[in-house]
A and B are shown apart, each in its own frame.
Chain A
C-alpha cells in the first residue's frame, strides 16, 4: 500500500509562472490536507478537501492560490503568478475519515521561485 505520493519533489518556477503541485492520497483515503512550510518555520494549514469539495480553505491566501480534489485523480494545489515569497515546502496529508486523527504525510514538494 503506497503512502501519500506528491509530485514533483522539487519544482523551480520563474516569477509570474504557474506552479501545479499534485498529491495522490493513500488508497482508501478520501480526505486531503495541504500545509505549507516556510524556511525555519513549522507547517501552516492551507486547505482541507474531500472528493469534489473544499471543506476548509481558511489558510489559503486570498489570491493566486487554489486547490481541488476531483472525483478521479490527484488533488492539485495551484499557484498562479508565483512570487519569491511562495518558495516553500508544500506538504499533503491524507486521512480515511473525518477527524484527521490518522493523517499520513507525503514527502512534500519543494517549490523554488527564481
Chain B
C-alpha cells in the first residue's frame, strides 16, 4: 500500500543548531514529493517540492531536502534553525495516477534558546 511515514512526532532543537526531519514513503515508483509547514492555527505553506532531476532541492526559508531513491526518503534539512521555525512540518507525496496528496502524520518542531 502507498504510505508516507514521518517517524519523529516531536523534535526539540536549540536555536542555531542544525535540523533534519525524516520522511519515508512506500511506493513502487518515485512519486512527487513535498514538504509543507504549518504554524499554529494557520494553513499549510509549501517549503519545497521534488519532481525529478537534481536530488537536492532548495526551498524557502533556508530549507533544503534530499531525495534518496535507494532509501525511499526525502529528508528535510536546515543548517541553522531560528526561533520562527517552530511549527509542524508535513511531508506529502503525490503518487502517479492519483490526484490526492498523501500526508505524513507530521513532526512538531520546538526551538529552545
Q: How far is the CB of A74 from chain B (nearest CB, A)?
A: 16
Residue in A4, A55, A104, A106 whose CB lies within 8 Å of B99: A55
Q: How many contacting A-B pairs (Cβ < 8 A)?
A: 56
Q: In the complex where A42-B104, A48-B100, A59-B100 touch, is A101 in contact with B51 (Cβ < 8 A)? A: yes
Q: How far is the CB of A8 from chain B (nearest CB, A)?
A: 14
- Find B94's partner among A31, A44, A100 (CB 8 Å cutoff): A100
Residues of B within 8 A of A45 (CB): 100-102
* B90 adjacent to A48 (CB under 8 Å): no
Question: B42: which of A31, A42, A44, A107 is its contact (CB, 8 Å)?
Answer: A107
Chain B residue contacts of A103, Cβ below 8 A:
101
Whether B44 sits at the interface, judged by CB under 8 Å, is yes
Contact yes or no, A100 B103, CB < 8 A: no
**Main SS of the interface on chain B?**
strand
Collect the chain B residues with CB atoms within 8 Å of residue A25's CB.
none
Q: How large is the interface on A (under 10, 10 to 19, 20 to 34, 35 or more residues)?
A: 20 to 34
- Interface size of B by CB at 8 A reads 21
- Is A43 an interface residue when CB atoms closer than 8 A count as contact? yes
Would you list which residues of chain A between 31 and 69 have a CB under 8 Å from chain B? 31, 33, 35, 41-45, 48, 55-56, 58-59
- In angstroms, how far is the closest chain A Cβ from the Cβ of B38? 9
Indicate if A99 sits at the interface (CB-CB under 8 A).
Answer: yes
Name 30 interchain pairs, CB-CB below 8 A, sorted by A. A4-B43, A33-B99, A33-B101, A41-B105, A41-B106, A42-B103, A42-B104, A43-B44, A43-B90, A43-B101, A44-B103, A45-B102, A48-B100, A55-B99, A56-B100, A91-B43, A99-B94, A100-B94, A100-B99, A100-B101, A101-B49, A101-B51, A103-B101, A105-B36, A105-B43, A105-B44, A106-B43, A107-B43, A108-B42, A108-B43
Residues of B within 8 A of A (CB): 32, 36, 41-46, 49, 51, 90, 92, 94, 99-106
